[in-house]
Amino acid sequence: MRQNDRRRSLVLRLREDGRVSVPTLAKDLGVTESTIRRDLASLAVDGTLVRTYGGAALPGVTTTTRSGDATNAAKRAIAVAAANLIEDGQTIAISSGTTTLELARRLVDRRLTVITNALDVATVLVDRDGIELIILGGVVRPRMHSMLGHLAELALGELRADTLFMGVGAIDPQRGLMNDSVPEILTDRALRNSSRNCVVLADSSKFWQVAPAFVFGLSEINTVITDSCVDPADVVSLKVHNIRVIVAR
């Protein structure tokens, strides 16, 4: 089936069913899940559909509670796997994001120095006996509660971390990391430059997505932690770039 015909079939399925999953589409259309993910990513850019955890829906169709629960479960599993990489006594940096917030909740009883530009992360870790907390200054990004701008970047020039744990809006195994906030790019890069290693926390719904702000390429990443719904082909694509991939279960 040609690409255009396949994508028309995808849209027809959405109109009939409201939402569909990647495995079901791949089986019905006789192609790989990676191919379906690329099709969905392209159609999402056009506004034809919206991506959901493990599939897609028509714009305006509310995702089910089950889907939301699955996404939250994936984020929690990723956070647990990330926490297991951290040793007491280390200095770590944590970026903003819902998955990194889950990670912070698993560090409250640890002995660490934590650098963050995320007010939500700071709120979780403040006044914890074992946590030395360094909060970056800067302009607050509305709704995301992250600090960004030249004040945050200047502060990061004076700081060093063993590892950055970074949330991400989109990850493309060919093009790198993307986020939805253009003003936050330089702060994200400054966080990376201040850290020896970079661990990206990305659930499988973030793969093959497109976001407007390019953060940095795969060469800056040491490890990616994702969930068990990840396409095995995407794992291989990352490992080709010498990136360690941890599949949280």
Domain boundaries, position 161? 68-248
| 22-29 vs 3-17: helix crossing angle, rounded to 10 | 130
Q: By mean pLDDT, which of 58-67, 89-98, 184-193 is the weakest?
A: 58-67
Q: What is the pLDDT of residues 129-147, one digit of tens each?
A: 999 999 999 999 876 788 9
Structure confidence at residue 61 (pLDDT): 54
Structure confidence at residue 181 (pLDDT): 84
Rounded CA separation 187/231 (Å): 30
> β-strands 176-179, 170-172: how paired?
antiparallel
Structure confidence at residue 66 (pLDDT): 42
186 with 233, same domain: the answer is yes
As a whole-number percent, the residues of the chain with pLDDT over 90 amount to 54
Q: What is the CATH number of the domain that holds 8?
A: 1.10.10.10
100 with 217, same domain: the answer is yes
Structure confidence at residue 69 (pLDDT): 56
Structure confidence at residue 91 (pLDDT): 98
Q: Give the pLDDT band (50/70/90) at residue 209.
A: confident
81 with 59, same domain: the answer is no
How many beta carbons lie within 10 A of that of residue 69, not counting itself? Answer: 11
**Token reading at 126:** 């403040």
Q: What is the CATH number of the domain that holds 149?
A: 3.40.50.10470
Q: For 4-28, what is the mean pLDDT?
A: 80
Q: Which of 22, 68, 65, 17 is nearest to 43 (CA)?
A: 22
Helix or strand holding residue 93 (H, E) = strand 91-94
Average pLDDT over the chain reads 88
76 with 23, same domain: the answer is no
55 with 84, same domain: the answer is no
Q: What is the pLDDT of residues 35-91, one digit of tens each?
A: 888 888 788 766 777 776 567 777 655 444 445 556 688 899 999 999 999 999 999
Final residue of a structural domain among 16, 41, 63: 63
Structure confidence at residue 121 (pLDDT): 94
Q: Structural domain tally of the chain?
A: 2
Evaluate whether 186 touches 156 at the Cβ level (below 8 Å). Answer: no
101 with 56, same domain: the answer is no
151 with 51, same domain: the answer is no
82 with 9, same domain: the answer is no
**Token reading at 151:** 């004040």
Q: What is the pLDDT of residues 102-119, one digit of tens each?
A: 999 999 999 999 999 999
80 with 50, same domain: the answer is no
Rounded CA separation 170/179 (Å): 6
Decide if pLDDT at 10 tops 80: yes
157 or 19, greater pLDDT? 157
Final residue of a structural domain among 16, 36, 63: 63
Final residue of a structural domain among 46, 63, 80: 63
76 with 53, same domain: the answer is no
CA atoms within 13 A on the CB side of 246: 21
Characterize 204-234 residue by residue with b for buried, 16 or more Cβ atoms within 10 angstroms of its Cβ, and e for exposed: bbbbbbebebebbebebbebbbbbebbbeeb
Q: For 84-101, what is the mean pLDDT?
A: 96
Evaluate whether 246 touches 224 at the Cβ level (below 8 Å). Answer: yes
21 with 119, same domain: the answer is no
Max mean pLDDT among 11-20, 35-44, 192-201, 223-232 falls in 192-201
Decide if pLDDT at 183 tops 80: yes
85 with 49, same domain: the answer is no
